Amino acid sequence: MTAEHDQALPVGTRLGDYRLDALIGHGGFGITYRAFDTQLAKFVAIKEYMPVEFATRRADGQVAPRGSRFADDFTWGRERFLDEARALARFRHVHIVPVLRYFEANGTAYTVMEFEDGHSVAQLLRQPGRRLQPDEIRRLTEGMLSGLGAVHAQGFLHRDIKPSNVIVRRDGVPILIDFGAARQAMGGRTRTLTSILTPQYAPIEQYAMDGKQGPWTDIYATAAVLHHTITGSPPPEAVSRVGTDPYRPLVATHADRFDPSMLSAIDRGLAFAPEQRPQSIAEWRTLFGGALPRIEDAPTQRMTIEPVPAQVASGPRLGGASRPPTEEIDSGAPVSRRKGFARRRLPIVLLLVAAAATWKYAPQIRERFLGAPAVETQSNLPSPVPIGGPTESSQAEASPTPVPPVPTNPVPAKPPVAAPDTGQKALGEQATRAATEARAAFERAEEAARAARAMAGEARIVAARAARPDLENGERLSYSGGASYVGQVVDGKRQGLGVAELGNGERQAGDWSADLMTGLGTVRLADDTRYAGQWKDGKSTGLGLREKPGVERSEGNFVGGRLEGLGIRRTLVDPNVVQGGEFHGDVLDGPGVERIGERERYEGGFRGGQRNGYGQVTDADGKTSPGRWADGKRVESAP
């Protein structure tokens, strides 16, 4: 067993396609491991059902009840654990950890999730001298409210929000993990589990066997987490607030550093009596007023995170393909080793998601999908005629900007300047290092592209379901300018599955929330450019595939319809140009690889989509030539 937990499986244990790599968390209800998926060559997080109070692990690795009197509770709890996994597998939201798969093995159950590259809020708060800044707390608040709103809309509660269950990715995106539905179910059945709530963050209704819980329960816990980030400590435990309440309102203690409306909203969320709190996320959000960041204000800026040991880097992560829940697990399956994996010291998928959803370029996010409005198209769709609103769609008059071509490198106007003899060795070494870094970036980009293709496939399935003529509770809404929507509607807004068609021929199909595409879906622009993948608040953001048939295809991470992070882009006309690495604003920027047909392959640095810095070129005959480039031209070479 591992040194960290005597009930945990040893590092190196194989569960079918997965090899356990490290223990990253444990509690009274389960153990979470980091694991390597040997089929997809990516890291994932695996949570094991292990209620330590009435179950134990045998020498052969099997999990069994501690005695016959615990057998029924153990089996019943395992079924609730799987029910929780099934419920979470329905969600595809940027602030909710994606569940990729769940299965039974070793007498217990497992949930496979994405591995998030980042730290929990608890880890951030424990770092010496680390104090979350007001802007970071605002972005954290917006992310948590967005994720919880999506959860509650499906009739599901989190029930265990606390700092250790909120991961802040390295790009600043907060992710909710470790939902507590199974813990709550078990708590209602038996009191043998003591870890069904976290006292500092649980409201009073969670202490009662028959306490009525709802969105207000998660609101209290979220407010408690925010209180902790602001003051450095959680609020008084709910049980200590019976009678004389020692809670001191934030509006009276921290008005010098924070927007009063934000402090007041948190105070309302921490009201002792459930009926005195906001009853929904939508109601609570209104209390924040203008204190929360707007979508166009780039709500996911990078947060400063100090490195921590790999053993404690926790959280699950984004992208990847689901497998059928009934797939048989062969614990003796061999681990396949991918060529080059030994060279990759950092987890491939950790870097994939660290780049995904980077909101660094706010002005570009406000631009239209592909230089025109993937974002604005949906956010500016006119309100349905029966509801009232704008009478003209701003998108009906907009013409999409053509997909920018992959830059190629022009022939130098003059021969490259040879480096002095004394610098030949140094130039060659720098070029070799740059090429090695570029190959590693390209391998990560290929991983991102594979995950993006899988996500695009899921998005097309969702879009097909949205277009079914027998869609349950489907309605038709008409818009001025010839636009229409056919799909599910809640309170007059597009909510659920549906298809929107604009007067200019643009078509959007998939998941909708609060009148905007959010989740998985597809869009086809008037010029036949298409995108399939993840969406957030009307923007094509996350893993996806963008293609203009016969012209260009891009696969990877997108923000507002533009490649932003790891990805691969290729032209579909001769000569076929392929670029892979990290993109910013739809152009390759940083270490990467460019292949021009069968003519040559460049490995090195890029700036603004052009070769820049040190690198090396390999020609069709396999001859490698190191050098240095500036603005796409070689300015220095070595023999």
Whether the Cβ atoms of residue 558 and residue 533 lie closer than 8 Å to each other: yes
Query: Which residues are 501's β-sheet partners?
Result: 484, 507
Helix (H) or strand (E) holding 589: strand 587-596
Q: What's the pLDDT at 180?
A: 58
The CATH homologous superfamily of the domain defined by 14-318: Transferase(Phosphotransferase) domain 1 (1.10.510.10)
59: DSSP letter: T
Q: What's the pLDDT at 309?
A: 34
- Distance CA(151)–CA(147), nearest Å, equals 6
Token pair of 182 as six digits: 């199974």
- Cα-based angle 175, 179, 183 (whole degrees, multiple of 5): 160
Question: What's the sign of the alpha-carbon dihedral 595, 600, 604, 609?
Answer: negative
Question: What's the sign of the alpha-carbon dihedral 385, 388, 390, 393?
Answer: negative
- Distance CA(142)–CA(602), nearest Å, equals 42
Helix (H) or strand (E) holding 113: strand 108-114
Residues of the chain with pLDDT under 70: 1-5, 28, 129-130, 180-196, 209-210, 294-423, 639
Helix (H) or strand (E) holding 350: helix 348-355
- Distance CA(122)–CA(423), nearest Å, equals 50
Domain locations in the chain as residue ranges: 14-318, 348-637
Token pair of 71 as six digits: 């057998």
Q: What's the pLDDT at 127?
A: 79
Whether the Cβ atoms of residue 394 and residue 520 lie closer than 8 Å to each other: no
Same fold, 14-318 and 348-637: no
Residue 543 neighbours by CB under 8 Å, 6+ apart: 318, 319, 356, 448, 451, 452, 455, 456, 533, 534, 556, 557, 558
pLDDT tens for 473-494 read 889 998 888 899 999 998 888 9
Q: What's the pLDDT at 209?
A: 61
pLDDT tens for 334-387 read 333 333 433 333 344 433 434 443 333 333 333 333 333 333 333 333 333 332
Residue with structure tokens 């097309």? 460
CATH of 348-637, one of 2.60.450.20, 3.40.50.300, 2.130.10.10, 3.40.640.10: 2.60.450.20
Mapping DSSP to helix (H, G, I), strand (E, B) and coil, where does residue 150 land? helix
DSSP string, 389-409: --SS-GGGG--PPPPPPPP-P
* Helix pair 260-269, 215-231: axis angle to 10 deg: 130
